Amino acid sequence: MGRRGGGSGSAATMPGAERGSELSEQIEAFAARLRRGGERPRSEDTARQTLSLLRKIVGNGRWSRAGELMDLIRTEGQRMTAAQPSETTVGNMVRRVLKVIREEYGRLHGRSEESDQQESLHKLLTSGGLSEDFRTPYPSLRANVIEAINEMLIELEGTTDNIAMQALEHIHSNEVIMTIGYSRTVEAFLKEAARKRKFQVIVAECAPFCQGHEMAVRLSKENIETTVMSDAAIFAVMSRVNKVIIGTKTILANGALIAVSGTHTLALAAKHHSTPLIVCAPMFKLSPQFPNEEDSFHKFVSPQEVLPFTEGEILAKINVHCPVFDYVPPELITLFISNIGGNAPSYIYRLMSELYHPDDYEL
Amino acid sequence: MAARGTARRGAGGGSARGPDPQEEPPPPLQAVLVADSFNRRFFPISKDRPRALLPMANVAMIDYTLEFLTATGVEETFVFCCWKSAEIKEHLQKSKWCRHTSPNTVRFVTSDLYRSLGDVLRDVDAKSLVRSDFILVTGDVVSNFNISKALEEHKLRRKMEKNVSVMTLIFKESSPGHHARCKEDDIVIAMDSATNRVLHYQRTQGLKRFRFPMSLFQNSIENVEVRHDLLDCHISICSPQVAELFTDNFDYQTRDDFVRGLLVNEEVLGNQIHMHVATEEYGAHICNLLMYEAVCSDIIRRWVYPLTPEMNFTDDKNQSYTHSKHNIYRGVDVSLGHGSVLEENVLIGQGTVIGSNCSITNSVIGQNCRIGDKVTLDGAVLWDRVHIADNVEIHHSVICDEAEVKEKVKLKPRCVLSSQVVVGPGITLSEGTVISLHPPDEEEEDDDQFSDDSGVNKESKVKLKGYNKKDVGSEGRGYLWKADDKNEEDEEEQRQSLWGPAMHSEEESESDSDLSMGSEEPDSRAASPQLDDIKVFQNEVLGTLQRGEEENISCDNLVLELNSLKYAYNISLKEMMQVLSKVILEFPLQQLDANLDSQNYFSALLPLLKNWTPLFKNYIKRASDHLNALYAIEEFFLEHDSLCTSIAKVLMTFYQLEILEEDVILNWFSLRDTSDKGKQLRKNQRLQKFIQWLEEAEEESSDGDQD
């Protein structure tokens, strides 16, 4: 970044250089914020921040061809995802933008959207993998891509509402719903249902962070009959539960979840009692990664919550772990509710191919 | 250059917003990072590398400190270096902190003249570097503490009571016996639980009993908490006044001096110190190898999250790790031989090759190390480019850069091999062995250890002397610093100073004696030196008075001198009183002749008493002071039987000079619980006459109050 700014020495380009280094500072600050974790950012906010940063890169970056822009986005994207691999949203947004660039380029290049969408087996065979080289410069590309990113930002605004709107189809009167931890999407979902129906919610507290407490407080403020219980009681209570509705951090390519720890227990109990398990998750949480790729989905935080540092002598002799996430295999999940409707885990692959270009799965 | 550019732009932004005075942005948060410890605790390791650059889980300590400062929102950091400053500067310039994207601007202040923290802060004041509250840390602090809350509290306090609170100390809650709690840094603190004000601060090192001044519990504070469950993080939030106070008090060397000085003179200066206790976050200060090991293992065990190895917060390509279960961290291009087991809590740096059938647990291995077959590492810390041959066993030891351990060597716990040392083959190093390429005796040769060039001229010396094959093995290179034998106490001390727990370096013991003044009464062991203190003080008072007599110094100046003496020896007012009376009464004896008869004695004493009346008046104010003075007089006359007869005259003089009041004299006289000798003294005719006269005088002045 700095080199680019320094290269263009003339006074006229100074503002651009200034903006360039400012942008790089912003990206750095964003990466640092992700790295430090801090106060559990909402995935939606992360997605929005990523998108607006990418928009700035598209707007202010020095590129003339689509290929250059994609390389630029890819390198910056790698930097941002490396900062906190467990925040898959960042990578997802980068892939979405890459896909947008491909589409916009294709449109300018004179290819119909249809042909891009439905690559037939025949076409795959005949084209011989000769994909576009993104070399042709189009002056309107910049504006088009920014426009498309703006649309995505607007789409982001409505995701939670879109999911909540479907609540009445899934929650019926006098049902007993179980959930775990605190998810804003689930909160909105339940609140929406509570406007028309009366039902009971059981919240597993989700130790050691106990976000479940916050969830219960928020729900009971809306006059929903809420019970908090310890995670150990999940199995015992499950027989009374009609539906399990949970949020998640990430949906993986195979339809599995990376969700707050304790979710696996809950999902197994639900399976044992044949209770349907519904996952509320906006589409931007859908990640084209598979669970066996390295160990990057793990997030182990300070053991402070499990065994406080003040314990003293014992700490030198023991190992304490405090994982944040659970892996929930796809066969335990009944239904995904996203902002574009309800889908079974087996359908995830299709959504994936609609959202991302196969070449971008690996950043 | 880049850093300056950023600053200029920042300043420009500030002035652009300038016209609106109401919304003037708060001044950027600044920090003073002292990248020097001003002691030799890490010798001989720190001979090759300054302490701030010692790798802690493969990342230099100063990087942790800077990351902590940056994460907490510091925008400008002054790094003060002294010992090996060039190396620190080079390291930082290569790091991400000096990139122009860094939100934290790092500036260097280098000088070989710094000898203590006090010097640094005096320089901060002289150059007026800080504009508002700043954070003071040393370059060996590892913490993930978010200072913002403590900073807010600090600012609020300063707003409420203008400039009263000057410093907020940050502590981490941790119970005694915690492995990351270093005994030499242990403290006992008394605090006001309502306001978090520090009332009493004492290092506990070597003390078995603690004493707290009664005044702590007597004043109006409702709840006083005495805490021993605190770990000093060596992070403090300071107001700019702190630097000024260091300038005013040129004898302040360390932060301890400062805290103690401020607490002792709290009433005089009106400054207060507060504290903040962190419960969830981590914070530790690495002051010896024991702490080094403990903090290393805490980092591996993720207590310092998010400052864990795989986070790669330094943004260095060579420092990317993957984290897998049981806290195994692996860098890029690590190769692990067949049958080798990484049990748990292991960190392996980039490019390291490990042979077959090794067993590694609780260890940190640096970059590009070569480890042979059948090696056992337990609690070992290996720095970069270390070579370990086959069949080596290493337990809880530190091996520095490019050191080599040959076949079948066994290192017992707490061994240290400093850089480029070679040991072996086939020897066993006993517990606590320290081997360095620098011969140990050279330390005495040059005093100026802190200067940078001291390392250069040594190379030649090293080659002149042969290595002792018994110590380092037949192919070994290096000098034995400390063996485990306890033949020489000095050496034992040194070894422990490297590792820690019960050390007494000069500096520490010095501060210990200072400490005893901080508390009103030291523990029983220190009681005898306390008595000596009074003796010394008495001599000093005598000397002062003699000088006053000879040079005819005015009483006001004498009072000043005595006051400063009083503080210097930490003498209470009561003791001061007694000493003063005693010294003045003895004065004629000292001056003239020890065997004076009472007549001559009194005639010699009389002018002195007249001269020094203001002295007495300055110290004798309350009734209890009068009584104390009387006791002192009584004691003196009991000791000097021959002068007994003049007691009445002396008392008379005191009375006439209006130093002592009649009520008190009468009171004293009528006291019953005195010794036989005291009773005899009271039977002295002249004294009785004097008393009688006094009683009559009183009866005359106030009718009928008697009986």
- CA-based nearest distance B229→chain A, Å: 8
Share of chain A above pLDDT 70, in %: 86
Name the residue among B101, B174, B324 with its Cβ closest to that of A295: B324
Q: Is residue A65 part of a domain?
A: yes
For position B469, what pLDDT does the model report? 81
In this structure, what token pair is assigned to residue A203?
């919240």
Q: How far apart are CA A81 and CA B362, in angstroms?
A: 30
Name the residue among A295, A308, A312 with its Cβ closest to that of B323: A295
Decide if pLDDT at A1 tops 80. no
Name the residue among A28, A37, A315 with its Cβ closest to that of B101: A28
Q: What is the pLDDT of residues A89-101, one digit of tens each?
A: 999 999 999 999 9
Decide if pLDDT at B135 tops 80. yes
Decide if pLDDT at B467 tops 90. no
For position A236, what pLDDT does the model report? 95
Verify whether the Cβ–Cβ distance B229 to A24 is below 8 Å.
no
- Residue B528: pLDDT band with limits 50, 70, 90: very low
Strands B381-382 and B364-365: parallel
Distance of CA A232 to the CA centre of its chain: 28
**Closest by alpha carbon to A69, among A46, A102, A41, A91?**
A102
For position A20, what pLDDT does the model report? 66
Mean pLDDT over residues B600-627, rounded? 76
Q: How far apart are CA B56 and CA B248, in angstroms?
A: 37
Distance of CA A231 to the CA centre of its chain: 25
Higher pLDDT, B84 or A148: A148
Nearest chain B Cα to A37, which residue? B306
- The total number of structural domains in chain B stands at 3
- Does residue A36 sit in the same domain as residue A175? no
* 3-class DSSP state of A286: strand
- Does residue B324 sit in the same domain as residue B281? no
- Residue B457: pLDDT band with limits 50, 70, 90: very low
Verify whether the Cβ–Cβ distance B101 to A311 is below 8 Å.
no
Place of tokens 């962190």: B278
- CA-based nearest distance A148→chain B, Å: 29
Distance of CA A211 to the CA centre of its chain: 19
Nearest chain B Cα to A319, which residue? B301
Interface test with B, best of A39, A261, A309 (most B CBs within 10 A): A309
As a whole number, the mean pLDDT across chain B is 78
Decide if pLDDT at B397 tops 50. yes
Q: Is residue B36 part of a domain?
A: yes
Mean pLDDT over residues A13-20, rounded? 50
Decide if pLDDT at B485 tops 50. no
For position A246, what pLDDT does the model report? 96
Verify whether the Cβ–Cβ distance A309 to B282 is below 8 Å.
yes
Mean pLDDT over residues B532-538, rounded? 74
Q: How far apart are CA A60 and CA A215, in angstroms?
A: 41
Residues of chain B with a CB closer than 8 angstroms to some CB in chain A: 2, 9, 70-71, 100-103, 144, 172-179, 229, 279-280, 282, 294, 297, 301-306, 308, 311-313, 320, 322-327, 344-345
- CA-based nearest distance A107→chain B, Å: 37
- Residue A108: pLDDT band with limits 50, 70, 90: confident
Phi and psi at residue B244, to the nearest 5°? -65, -40
- Does residue B145 sit in the same domain as residue B217? yes
Verify whether the Cβ–Cβ distance A302 to B304 is below 8 Å.
yes
Interface test with A, best of B178, B277, B361 (most A CBs within 10 A): B178
Distances A185 to A199, A248, A340, B375 between C-alpha atoms, Å: 18, 9, 14, 53
Q: Which residues of A touch B331 (CB under 8 A)?
A: none
- CA-based nearest distance B305→chain A, Å: 5
- Does residue B331 sit in the same domain as residue B220? no
**Closest by alpha carbon to B236, among B31, B72, B446?**
B31
- Does residue B586 sit in the same domain as residue B673? yes
For position B291, what pLDDT does the model report? 87
Verify whether the Cβ–Cβ distance A303 to B302 is below 8 Å.
yes
Q: Which residues of B touch A37 (CB under 8 A)?
A: 305-306
- CA-based nearest distance B263→chain A, Å: 28
- Residue A267: pLDDT band with limits 50, 70, 90: very high
Verify whether the Cβ–Cβ distance A311 to B344 is below 8 Å.
no
Which segments within B123-255 are labelled E, that is strand?
134-138, 141-143, 165-173, 187-192, 197-203, 224-227, 230-238
- Does residue B273 sit in the same domain as residue B329? no
- Does residue A191 sit in the same domain as residue A325? yes
- Does residue A188 sit in the same domain as residue A281? yes
Least confident of A126-130, A339-343, B59-63, B564-568: A126-130
- Residue B501: pLDDT band with limits 50, 70, 90: very low
Omega before B425 cis (within 30°)? Answer: yes
CB A361 within 8 A of CB A349: no
Which segments within chain A are labelled E, that is strand?
176-180, 200-204, 225-229, 243-246, 250-251, 257-260, 277-280, 325-328, 335-338, 341-343
Q: Is residue A117 part of a domain?
A: no
Higher pLDDT, B508 or B666: B666
For position B645, what pLDDT does the model report? 72
Higher pLDDT, A336 or A359: A336
Q: Is residue B391 part of a domain?
A: yes
Decide if pLDDT at B603 tops 80. no
- Does residue B247 sit in the same domain as residue B380? no
For position B375, what pLDDT does the model report? 94
CB A8 within 8 A of CB A17: yes
Verify whether the Cβ–Cβ distance A302 to B303 is below 8 Å.
yes
For position A122, what pLDDT does the model report? 62
- Does residue A214 sit in the same domain as residue A280? yes
As a whole number, the mean pLDDT across chain A is 85
Q: Is residue A80 part of a domain?
A: yes
Q: What is the ipTM of this complex?
A: 0.85
Decide if pLDDT at B461 tops 60. no
Domain range for B329 is 318-439+468-483
Verify whether the Cβ–Cβ distance B103 to A24 is below 8 Å.
no
- The total number of structural domains in chain A stands at 2
Which CATH number fits the domain that encloses residue A328? 3.40.50.10470
- CA-based nearest distance B1→chain A, Å: 12
For position A16, what pLDDT does the model report? 47
Domain range for A224 is 171-355
Decide if pLDDT at B448 tops 50. no
- Does residue A198 sit in the same domain as residue A337? yes
Q: How far apart are CA B504 and CA B509, in angstroms?
A: 6
Q: Is residue A346 part of a domain?
A: yes
Contacts for A356 with CB less than 8 Å, ≥ 6 apart: A92, A95, A96, A98, A99, A288
Distances B456 to A104, B247, B288, B459 between C-alpha atoms, Å: 64, 35, 26, 6
Strand partners, B273: B167
Place of tokens 């989905």: A297
Highest mean pLDDT range out of B61-75, B162-176, B259-273?
Answer: B61-75
Identify the DSSP state of B41. T
Mean pLDDT over residues A53-69, rounded? 90
- Does residue A232 sit in the same domain as residue A314? yes
For position B582, what pLDDT does the model report? 78
Verify whether the Cβ–Cβ distance B294 to A316 is below 8 Å.
yes
Highest mean pLDDT range out of A33-47, A139-153, B38-52, B642-656?
Answer: A139-153
Find the angle CA(A95)-CA(A101)-CA(A105) to the nearest 5 degrees: 150
Verify whether the Cβ–Cβ distance A313 to B173 is below 8 Å.
no
Q: How far apart are CA B181 and CA B657, in angstroms?
A: 59
- Does residue A187 sit in the same domain as residue A93? no
Decide if pLDDT at B55 tops 80. yes
Q: How far apart are CA B352 and CA B365, in angstroms?
A: 8
CB B486 within 8 A of CB B29: no
In this structure, what token pair is assigned to residue B411?
């290192």
Verify whether the Cβ–Cβ distance A313 to B294 is below 8 Å.
no
Which residue among A122, A155, A188 closes a domain?
A: A155
Q: How far apart are CA B49 and CA B174, in angstroms?
A: 31
Q: Which residues of B touch A82 (CB under 8 A)?
A: 312, 320
Q: How far apart are CA A69 and CA A61, in angstroms?
A: 8
User: How many Cβ pairs within 8 Å bridge chains A and B?
Assistant: 92
Which segments within B408-519 are labelled E, that is strand?
410-411, 416-417, 422-423, 428-429, 434-436, 479-482
Which CATH number fits the domain that encloses residue A94? 1.20.120.420
Higher pLDDT, B705 or B518: B705
Verify whether the Cβ–Cβ distance A302 to B305 is below 8 Å.
yes
| Residues comprising chain A, all counted | 363
- Does residue A217 sit in the same domain as residue A348? yes
Q: How far apart are CA B135 and CA B139, in angstroms?
A: 12
- CA-based nearest distance A89→chain B, Å: 18
* 3-class DSSP state of A180: strand
- Does residue A178 sit in the same domain as residue A324? yes
Q: What is the pLDDT of residues B290-315, one digit of tens each?
A: 889 889 999 999 998 888 888 888 88
For position B699, what pLDDT does the model report? 66
- Residue A18: pLDDT band with limits 50, 70, 90: low
- Does residue A230 sit in the same domain as residue A268? yes
Q: Which residues of B touch A319 (CB under 8 A)?
A: 301, 326-327, 344-345
Highest mean pLDDT range out of B24-33, B380-389, B697-706?
Answer: B380-389
Q: What is the pLDDT of residues B77-129, one digit of tens each?
A: 999 988 888 899 999 988 888 888 888 889 988 888 888 888 899 999 998 88
Interface test with A, best of B6, B299, B301 (most A CBs within 10 A): B301
Q: Which residues of A touch B301 (CB under 8 A)?
A: 303, 319-320
Q: What is B395-440 written as a DSSP string?
A: ES-EE-TT-EE-TT-EE-TT-EE-TT-EE-SS-EEPTT-EEESS-T
Interface test with A, best of B64, B98, B101 (most A CBs within 10 A): B101
Q: What is B93-116 written as a DSSP string?
A: HHSGGGSTT-SSEEEEEE-TT--S
Q: How far apart are CA B674 and CA B631, in angstroms?
A: 10
Place of tokens 């000098």: B479
- CA-based nearest distance A109→chain B, Å: 37
Verify whether the Cβ–Cβ distance A304 to B311 is below 8 Å.
no
Q: How far apart are CA A249 and CA B310, in angstroms?
A: 21
Which residue among B239, B267, B285 closes a domain?
A: B285
Angle between helices A141-165 and A184-194 (to 10 degrees): 50
Verify whether the Cβ–Cβ distance B303 to A309 is below 8 Å.
yes
- Residue A296: pLDDT band with limits 50, 70, 90: low
Least confident of A37-41, A305-309, B201-205, B662-666: A37-41
Distances B460 to B47, B437, B528, B588 between C-alpha atoms, Å: 16, 12, 49, 65
Decide if pLDDT at B343 tops 70. yes
Q: Is residue A122 part of a domain?
A: no
Nearest chain A Cα to B320, which residue? A82
Which CATH number fits the domain that encloses residue B615? 1.25.40.180
Angle between helices A43-60 and A66-83 (to 10 degrees): 150
Q: Which residues of B touch A40 (CB under 8 A)?
A: none
Verify whether the Cβ–Cβ distance A310 to B173 is below 8 Å.
yes
For position A295, what pLDDT does the model report? 59
- Residue B482: pLDDT band with limits 50, 70, 90: low
For position B677, what pLDDT does the model report? 66
Q: What is the pLDDT of residues A213-235, one digit of tens each?
A: 999 999 999 999 999 999 999 99
Higher pLDDT, B318 or A8: B318
- Residue A121: pLDDT band with limits 50, 70, 90: low
Higher pLDDT, A246 or B467: A246
Angle between helices B623-639 and B647-656 (to 10 degrees): 160
- CA-based nearest distance B46→chain A, Å: 27
Residues of chain A with a CB closer than 8 angstroms to some CB in chain B: 1-2, 18, 21, 24-25, 28-29, 32, 35-37, 82, 294-296, 298, 300-304, 308-313, 315-316, 319-322
**Closest by alpha carbon to B263, among B561, B574, B564, B515?**
B515
- CA-based nearest distance B64→chain A, Å: 13
Contacts for A211 with CB less than 8 Å, ≥ 6 apart: A181, A182, A260
Q: How far apart are CA B321 and CA A360, in angstroms?
A: 24
Q: Is residue A344 part of a domain?
A: yes
Q: Which residues of B touch A295 (CB under 8 A)?
A: 322-325
List of long-range contacts for B17-21, beta carbons under 8 Å, 24+ apart: none
- Does residue A291 sit in the same domain as residue A199? yes
Decide if pLDDT at B661 tops 80. no
Decide if pLDDT at A145 tops 70. yes
Share of chain B above pLDDT 70, in %: 81
CB B365 within 8 A of CB B379: no
Burial (CB count <10 Å: 0-12, 13-18, 19+), residue B42: buried
- CA-based nearest distance B457→chain A, Å: 42
For position B503, what pLDDT does the model report? 37
For position B676, what pLDDT does the model report? 66
- Does residue B34 sit in the same domain as residue B133? yes
In this structure, what token pair is assigned to residue A333?
């999940």
- CA-based nearest distance B345→chain A, Å: 9
* 3-class DSSP state of A244: strand
Q: Is residue A2 part of a domain?
A: no
Distances B313 to A32, A291, B65, B262, B373 between C-alpha atoms, Å: 8, 25, 12, 38, 33
- Does residue B271 sit in the same domain as residue B331? no
